[in-house]
Chains A and B, each alone.
Chain A
Amino acid sequence: MKRIEIFNFKSPNRAPLKVEGFLFGEESKGPSVAIVGAMSGDHINQLYVASRLVEYLRQKEEEGKISGKILVIPAINSYALNMGETFWPLDKTDINMMFPGYAQGETTQRIAAKLFEALQGFNYGIILEGRRDQGMCLPYVKLIQSDYEDIDSARDLGMRFIHFRPYSPIETVMLQYNWQLWGTKALSVVFGKNGSIDPVSSEEVHGALVRFMVKRQILDTAVFEGFVSNIIEPESIMLLKASRAGIFDSLVSCGTTVSKGDTLGRITDALSGEKLEKIIAPIDGVLTCQYAHPLIFQNSIAFRIASVEPKKSITKSK
């Protein structure tokens, strides 16, 4: 294992921001993968999974099991992690909205540029991502259709669901899209609840990362088979919204198989305690996501269910 400095960025008054990477194996031996952890200060679960992976790989390297090259960068935005911020603490910009970066540009564009440079030339790229809302979810693979995406390698994670969809305008400045365009088979694994660590999800993602590296001949060890991933396009997800605002109680956990008619959650009036709404599953399926804050806004998405019978047949549009 080599502990390397990816870049070092000075601050007016704080100690410099030091972004570190952990390098295992050698390029000449086999394929390469880079794994990127916390780009936001609330991606603590992502930090946890990445640092645990570093320790795991260190042992595997001692056992001589690394057959390719692996780079793990557990934290990019440690300035935000160290002060409970989400984004870059001064200007509140999101590093993962600055790709491919610009070396002559604004601060976070420069940080993105330095990171992006260090991520060039890898065969595979895995971004450990948190959610962009107040939810929590069953860990899933997010693969956007840039025309350079690679679904076969995404399947090798053996995760239950691969969300496969066209990109939105804001995704053109995110890492996954740009990394794909620059020739790395990049994908994101989205999991956890921002600001916390979920042991079950962490275990599942750790297992998936190890499986991926084994299947892609980067790591030589025995693993259990994962899921045959279900490819989920946006139309096969049913959204269940809270028609009322108030205190939200969920009665289920992500990953539960639900049947039509099951009660999934309840909303009560935050002041009077009056029972306002029961949220009932309208179809059979698997609960993939749920709202994860005790106070809920009107019309918020309380649950997402992946339907066992997609409304439309799933075809890839090019």
Chain B
Amino acid sequence: MGVIEEVFSIDLPVGEQFRIQRCRYTPTGGETSKRISIVSGIHGDELEGQYVCFLLGEWLRAHADKIKATIDIYPAINSLGLDSITRSVPFYNVDLNRIFPGSKNDFLPAQIADGVVSAMRGSEIAIDIHSSNVFLREIPQVRIAKSQAKMLVPLANKLNIDFVWVHDAVTVLESTFAHAMNTLGTKTLVVEMGVGMRLGKAYGHQLLEGILNLMACEGFLDIEPLDVRMPIQSHVGEVAYLNASCPGLFVPAIEHCQMIEKGSIVGAIVDPLSGQTLDEVIAPIGGILFTLRAYPIVYEGSLVGRIFGEKV
């Protein structure tokens, strides 16, 4: 059984502590320096990772004899946000994933970030599970900065996900948890799947299998590797962004995560007041629709979908 530990605590003004807890599973022989960290809830409106943490904990409780190295589960980093549907750090209104590596000498969000890094520093691998936000639904995917691709893509391929997206490095992303941990030598994978404020059971089970497989391959579990799917690799094609051309109500025409042909209709933007259809969103390329808008209100520019397809 796992041991629940508090890794960071700070007093809030009125009779409460902000805390970060983890559940640590160790082999029967005791703790090992080899360890992996499973992380969720850096954004308080993303819950898919919480379900994966539960499923993994449930599996580990039932298979304690299979554990070969230390496994830490951190389901709730932004605990204030999770319990109040707040994406950012409440009160400060700061995106925790834009403040890493943080600092002990700065405001609360930076101290939380510093506490997270201190707790996980030294892990061999970290898996940071996000679920997009309330606006978009994503198929299970891992996003990797180009500079890290060589090291991280082989690891991502073990996670039973559908898509590995290698993107160009952007300076602003140097303030993310993943960048901070990769810089410290922890191989950190960022998973995006599902939609904010909801949970999808199927995706949770899919990622659980991937995490078990990765842990089997990397020497954390004494089990046979699982038979997992090979993700589509972004370098073989291109990503097309579908942004709303006008404000209105976006009504999707198709299901999420399906193959789509060039020129087909992804959805319509309609005007509830006049009863007019303002625009049709057309697929500019053929391929797989891996992102689809879940929240119907759109402004000009709002992302309504992303398609991965062959280079045009």
Contacts and interface: CB of A to CB of B under 8 A. Distances in A.
Given A11-B299, A90-B297, A297-B108, A244 B92 contact: no
A91 B135 contact: yes
B172 A301 contact: no
Interface string B73-110: 00000000000000110011110001000001111100
B301 A271 contact: no
A170 B10 contact: no
A245 B111 CA distance: 14
A239 interface: yes
Interface in A284-318: 295-301
Interface string A158-178: 000000000011101100000
A133 B87 contact: no
Contact of A295 (B10, B14, B174, B302): B14
A46 interface: no
Contact of A298 (B10, B88, B243): B10
Contacts of B18: 297
A226 B88 CA distance: 40
A104 interface: yes
B137 to A, nearest CB: 15
A11 B273 CA distance: 13
A298 B11 contact: yes
B61 to A, nearest CB: 34
Interface stretch (A53-61, A106-114, A200-208): A106-114
The prevalent SS among residues of A at the interface is: loop
Contacts of A105: 241, 243, 301
Given A106-B302, A301-B107, A245 B13 contact: yes
B301 A247 contact: no
B246 A10 contact: yes
A169 B105 contact: no
Contacts of B14: 246, 270-271, 295
Contact of B172 (A109, A169, A239, A245): A169
Given A170-B175, A172-B171, A301-B106, A245 B12 contact: yes
A273 interface: no
A92 B81 CA distance: 15
A31 to B, nearest CB: 31
Interface in B282-302: 297-302
B247 interface: yes
Contact of B302 (A9, A107, A173): A107
B10 A297 contact: yes
A296 B298 CA distance: 38
A134 B92 contact: yes
A246 B171 contact: no
Interface string A94-105: 000100000011
Nearest to A87: B93
Interface in B1-44: 10-15, 18
A12 B105 contact: no
B172 A241 contact: no
A104 B243 contact: yes
A86 interface: yes
Given A92-B87, A133-B92, A295-B13, A169 B175 contact: yes
A91 B132 CA distance: 12
A241 B87 contact: no
Nearest to A113: B301
Given A92-B87, A271-B15, A300-B107, A107 B10 contact: no
A170 B98 CA distance: 7
A297 B302 contact: no
Contacts of A244: 11
B303 interface: yes
Contacts of B175: 168-170
Nearest to A91: B135
B107 A9 contact: no
Interface in A63-102: 86-87, 90-92, 97
A297 B13 contact: yes
B13 A296 contact: yes
Nearest to B298: A12
B117 interface: no
B13 A270 contact: yes
Nearest to A174: B172
Contacts of B13: 245-247, 270, 295-297
A13 B270 CA distance: 12
A246 B12 CA distance: 7
Interface string B242-275: 0100111100000000000000000000000100
Contacts of B243: 104-106
A168 B241 CA distance: 29
A245 B301 contact: no
A169 B299 contact: no
Contacts of B273: 13
28 contacts: A9-B299, A9-B300, A10-B246, A10-B247, A11-B247, A12-B247, A12-B249, A13-B273, A90-B297, A90-B302, A91-B302, A92-B87, A97-B98, A105-B243, A106-B302, A107-B299, A107-B300, A107-B302, A108-B301, A134-B92, A169-B174, A169-B175, A170-B172, A245-B11, A245-B13, A297-B10, A297-B11, A297-B12
Given A10-B247, A295-B14, 15 more contacts: A12-B248, A12-B249, A90-B297, A92-B88, A97-B98, A105-B243, A105-B301, A108-B301, A133-B107, A134-B92, A169-B174, A239-B105, A298-B11, A299-B111, A300-B107
